Amino acid sequence: MRHIISVLLENESGALSRVAGLFSARGFNIESLTVAPTDDETLSRMTIVTEGGGDLVEQVTKQLNKLVDVVKLMELTEGPHIERELLLVKVRAMGSARDEVKRLVDIFRGRIVDVTDSIYTVELTGAGDKVDAFIDAIRPEDIIEVVRSGVSGIARGDRALKL
Amino acid sequence: MEMTGADILIRSLSDEGVKHIFGYPGGAALHIYDAIYKQDKVQHILTRHEQGATHAADAYARADDSGKAGVVLVTSGPGVTNAVTGIATAYMDSIPMVVICGQVPTHLIGDDAFQEVDTVGITRPCVKHNFLIKDVRDVASTIKKAFFIAESGRPGPVVVDVPKDITAQTCEYLYPQHLTMRSYSPVTKGHPKQIKKAVELLLGAKRPIIYTGGGVVLGNAGDKLTEFVRRLGYPCTNTLMGLGAFPASDPLFVGMLGMHGTYEANMCMYECDVMLAVGARFDDRVTGELAKFSPNARIIHVDIDPSSIGKNVSVEVPIVGSAESVLEDMMAALNETSTQPDADALGQWWEQINRWRGLDSFGFDADGEFIKPQRVVKMLCDQTGGDAYITSDVGQHQMWAAQHYRFDKPRRWINSGGLGTMGFGLPAAMGVQLLHPKAEVACITGEASIQMCIQELAAIQQYELPIKIVCLNNRFMGMVRQWQEFFYDRRYSNSYMDSLPDFVKLAESFGHVGMRVENSGDLEGAMKEMLGMKNRAVFLDVVTDQAENVYPMIPGGAGHNEMVLKPGAQTDDMQERELA
């Protein structure tokens, strides 16, 4: 099962490498990891997507909590939540494909943010599966470059990860 | 008054109550060494290698029931890399330790400067936490945090990396009295509901076992454990790290468990219906094959580290808390309930256990031409009244020491259990003897292990530490040879100890007494003579039986019920004997 874990940690140099080191040392899988400072500049917020059974994710959260730099964490996938990922993709767009790509972008509610005579650069946000679906919808030979930000997420309703 | 970073560092140690630090100087640490020179509160012990310094500081902490961290000071680069083995050793056994490392000046960090390594990066996987100090005003507070983290919760080593320029800069000295960290606050008190559940489960048991580890020793919960076990009348087993937490002389003690534990302890683990694990981590050398582990047990696991619980074995009643606090609360819960243990079931259980005990799985044939290593350990135990501090290295001698020295008190047995570090024993004995100058301290070692930190014989002379070294010399890396004999068709690849030094002369050249025993009949007298030399370090080189192996044994892939009891004995034979 896929799990999304949000982590608040001290915004200090080395904190990121502690988390990354923990995952590699314990053999935990990281599907994606994003990190940036929060409104409180002493804290960073990290979102980790990992794959595994319930026992594994329990061990992952316990090990994360054990890191001295980790202040608090929450498994987002335990409850209702919103998940978003940013996709930037450069697509070959010539002749009839120009219209087809434009239509696809509209259907997925993306935006074309850069245009040349042969290329569209598309911006799209959404949950991981929506991003996957968009990439699948484009012919592989037309894809020039793909950049995914990795998942960010937030819990719905009252549930919040804050101090 | 403004002080330099180096003076602040040493003053902080002094205000933290540190009396001894173990270390080795070098360029990046020179300001700190100068600060040591200018004061007399903190005494520096010069080891002859940084690995020796870390092991000595580690054992200094292990032998101290105050729970204070051992302290190490090394220089940058090779000073740090040499210390890593000792840091990892302390980490695996959860020993409180603060390791201060010199570092190249801030402006050179990352330039591949002379004697530069990424200390924080290299040590990260084997420390509880580490710091790089970037501002002289952070020196005192970082030292405070380092001790707080090292000594609280599940203890562990903390590394503090101090660039040389920081130790030269100045600021006002203020050592923080109190400390709170929003990201670190270990839980010590167990959840009352869980404690109640645990006690109910324990009282309903028909075949209970209480299995405890190093956490009970580190948490100074030996007395509480003993009281609790005696109250219930249940069998108790200790891990290698937990020996001494429950008195080995007590009839309720079924011995050490695990790969080379007693048959009765392992069978209790296999056959039990309720297991209480306290401060133990279900290590692979303890559980044997996990798929065959305690098939019918309902497990209660008490540990101060939540990540230890459910890591290898799933448990029914997890309790996060310190061994001492939880055992106290469980005792109180026992006193409140009118339910009593099931006396009939317990009687039958003890009958069964005593049948297993009757096999005398630690038994050995003391006669014969060669000196049996087990006999040496037993004799040392008898002649020291079982009250010495015993350090050991790693291998067969370590297992024989654990099996045959009777540890009735916690913190008497000092060994590298988790990492299994050869070279640990001698520097460890230094640390223990410095902490307890009047106590009897012996290092049980082998001719292979002792050579790994042999240079510390010089430090032992310098500080006049009357350590007794008992070397079980079988001219082999015994445990390696044993595995090659069992599992590699006796192809003894590189396990023979060729070109051994003359240990008597070697000891003498360092200024110690050297003795060698080859004949069985001379052993007792030699040991008496050794122990009689109260003010001298003595190296007793005992030539032992080369062919002796450590039994009983749980081979790889086997369960607790599949122990091999003696040479040639197959599991089936063993079970037949048991049924008979």
Chain-chain contact of A58 with B310 (C-beta, under 8 angstroms): yes
Neighboring chain A residues of B181 at a CB cutoff of 8 Å? 68
Residues A32-89 pLDDT 10s:
999 999 999 999 999 999 998 888 899 999 999 999 999 999 999 999 999 999 999 9
Superfamily of domain A82-152: ACT-like. Chain A, domain 2 (3.30.70.1150)
Which of B68, B164, B224, B378 is an active site residue? Answer: B164
* Chain A residues interacting with chain B (CB cutoff of 8 angstroms): 9-10, 13-14, 17-18, 21, 25, 55, 58-59, 62-63, 65-66, 68-71, 163
SS3 sequence, B173-240?
A: CCCCCCCCECCECCCCCCCHHHHHHHHHHHHCCCCEEEEECHHHHHCCCHHHHHHHHHHHCCCEEECH
**DSSP letter assigned to residue B296:** T
Q: Given this model, what pLDDT does residue B366 score?
A: 87
Distance (Å, whole) CA B390 – CA B96: 19
Neighboring chain B residues of A23 at a CB cutoff of 8 Å? none
Chain-chain contact of A66 with B184 (C-beta, under 8 angstroms): no
Instruction: State the nearest Cα–Cα gap between B24 and chain A, in angstroms.
Output: 27
Q: Given this model, what pLDDT does residue B569 score?
A: 55
Question: What is the count of residue pairs from A and B with beta carbons less than 8 Å apart?
Answer: 37
Chain-chain contact of A70 with B128 (C-beta, under 8 angstroms): no
When pLDDT is averaged across residues B291-311 and rounded to a whole number, the result is 96
- DSSP SS3 for B48: coil
Instruction: State the nearest Cα–Cα gap between A23 and chain B, in angstroms.
Output: 11
Taking each helix axis as running N to C, give the angle between helix B5-15 and helix B30-37, from 0 to 180 degrees, rounded to the nearest 10. Answer: 60
Neighboring chain A residues of B305 at a CB cutoff of 8 Å? 66
> Which of A10, A21, A58 lies at the smallest CB-CB distance from B183?
A10
Neighboring chain B residues of A63 at a CB cutoff of 8 Å? 307
Amino acid at B568: G
Domain ranges of chain A: 2-79, 82-152
Chain-chain contact of A68 with B311 (C-beta, under 8 angstroms): no
Domain ranges of chain B: 2-172, 192-357, 373-543
Instruction: State the nearest Cα–Cα gap between B306 and chain A, in angstroms.
Output: 6
Instruction: State the nearest Cα–Cα gap between B131 and chain A, in angstroms.
Output: 9
Nearest to B408 by CA among B235, B233, B285, B238: B238
Of the candidate ranges A101-115, B90-104, B280-294, B564-578, the one whose mean pLDDT is the lowest: B564-578
Instruction: State the nearest Cα–Cα gap between A52 and chain B, in angstroms.
Output: 14
Tokens of A43: 């804290």
pLDDT-derived band at B369, boundaries 50, 70, 90: confident
Let me know if the fold of A2-79 is the same as that of A82-152. Answer: yes
Distance (Å, whole) CA B574 – CA B270: 15
Give the strand pairing for B253-256 and B236-238.
parallel
The answer to whether residues A54 and A77 touch, using CB atoms and an 8 Å cutoff, is no
Unique residue bearing structure tokens 């800069």: B169
Architecture of domain B192-357: 3-Layer(aba) Sandwich (3.40)
- DSSP SS3 for B19: coil
Chain-chain contact of A163 with B128 (C-beta, under 8 angstroms): no
Amino acid at B373: P
Which of B422, B479, B530, B553 is an active site residue? Answer: B479
Unique residue bearing structure tokens 């056994």: B93
Neighboring chain A residues of B311 at a CB cutoff of 8 Å? 59
Active site residue B164: yes
E strand map for B331-452? 389-392, 413-414, 441-446
Q: Given this model, what pLDDT does residue A13 score?
A: 84
> Which of B132, B149, B307 lies at the smallest CB-CB distance from A62?
B307
Alpha-helical segments (H) within chain A: 15-25, 54-66, 96-107, 128-137
Length of chain B: 580
- DSSP SS3 for B476: strand
- DSSP SS3 for B533: coil
Chain-chain contact of A62 with B306 (C-beta, under 8 angstroms): yes
> Which of A13, A68, A163 lies at the smallest CB-CB distance from B184?
A68
Neighboring chain B residues of A56 at a CB cutoff of 8 Å? none
- Phi/psi class of residue B541: alpha, beta or left (left: φ > 0; alpha: ψ in -120 to 50)? beta
Architecture of domain B373-543: 3-Layer(aba) Sandwich (3.40)
Active site residue B115: yes
Amino acid at B136: V
pLDDT surpasses 50 at B575? no
Unique residue bearing structure tokens 């100045």: B170
- pTM greater than 0.90: yes
Amino acid at A108: F
pLDDT surpasses 90 at B570? no
Chain-chain contact of A63 with B307 (C-beta, under 8 angstroms): yes
Active site residue B114: yes
pLDDT surpasses 70 at B46? yes
Neighboring chain B residues of A55 at a CB cutoff of 8 Å? 310, 314
When pLDDT is averaged across residues B124-130 and rounded to a whole number, the result is 97
* Chain B residues interacting with chain A (CB cutoff of 8 angstroms): 120-121, 124-125, 128-129, 132, 149, 181-184, 305-307, 310-311, 314
Chain-chain contact of B124 with A62 (C-beta, under 8 angstroms): no
Active site residue B479: yes
E strand map for B204-340? 208-212, 236-238, 253-256, 274-278, 298-303, 317-320
Amino acid at B47: T
Chain-chain contact of A68 with B129 (C-beta, under 8 angstroms): yes
**DSSP letter assigned to residue B69:** P
Nearest to B317 by CA among B203, B152, B154: B203
Q: Given this model, what pLDDT does residue B572 score?
A: 47
The answer to whether residues B241 and B213 touch, using CB atoms and an 8 Å cutoff, is yes
Neighboring chain B residues of A18 at a CB cutoff of 8 Å? 124
pLDDT-derived band at B568, boundaries 50, 70, 90: low
The answer to whether residues B51 and B83 touch, using CB atoms and an 8 Å cutoff, is yes
Q: Is the ipTM, as predicted for this complex, more than 0.90? A: yes
> Which of A14, A65, A70 lies at the smallest CB-CB distance from B120?
A14
Unique residue bearing structure tokens 């007693």: B262
Chain-chain contact of A25 with B125 (C-beta, under 8 angstroms): yes
Which of A56, A68, A161 is best to mutate for the B interface (most B CBs within 10 A)? Answer: A68
Distance (Å, whole) CA B343 – CA B330: 20
When pLDDT is averaged across residues B266-272 and rounded to a whole number, the result is 97
> Which of B121, B149, B307 lies at the smallest CB-CB distance from A68?
B149
Neighboring chain A residues of B126 at a CB cutoff of 8 Å? none
Neighboring chain B residues of A58 at a CB cutoff of 8 Å? 310
Q: Dihedral, CA atoms, B195, B200, B204, B207, nearest 10 degrees? A: 0
Distance (Å, whole) CA A129 – CA A106: 17
pLDDT surpasses 50 at B580? no
Q: Given this model, what pLDDT does residue B573 score?
A: 45
- The H or E element containing residue A83 is strand A81-92
Unique residue bearing structure tokens 């243990």: B341
- The H or E element containing residue B352 is helix B343-357
Unique residue bearing structure tokens 């409850």: A79
pLDDT surpasses 70 at B574? no
| CATH for B2-172, options being 3.30.70.270, 3.30.365.10, 3.40.50.970, 3.40.50.300 | 3.40.50.970
The answer to whether residues B123 and B87 touch, using CB atoms and an 8 Å cutoff, is yes
Phi, psi of B209 (to 5 degrees): -145, 140
Chain-chain contact of A21 with B125 (C-beta, under 8 angstroms): yes
Instruction: State the nearest Cα–Cα gap between A56 and chain B, in angstroms.
Output: 9
Superfamily of domain A2-79: ACT domain (3.30.70.260)
Nearest to B373 by CA among B230, B249, B523: B523
The answer to whether residues A50 and A5 touch, using CB atoms and an 8 Å cutoff, is yes
Nearest to B125 by CA among A74, A109, A14: A14
pLDDT-derived band at B579, boundaries 50, 70, 90: very low
When pLDDT is averaged across residues B447-472 and rounded to a whole number, the result is 98
pLDDT surpasses 50 at B576? no
Count CB-CB contacts under 10 A for residue A149: 14
Taking each helix axis as running N to C, give the angle between helix B478-487 and helix B396-404, from 0 to 180 degrees, rounded to the nearest 10. Answer: 100
DSSP for B479-497, please give it. HHHHHHHHHSTT--TT-B-
Chain-chain contact of A55 with B310 (C-beta, under 8 angstroms): yes
Tokens of A20: 């990354």
Let me know if the fold of B192-357 is the same as that of B373-543. Answer: yes
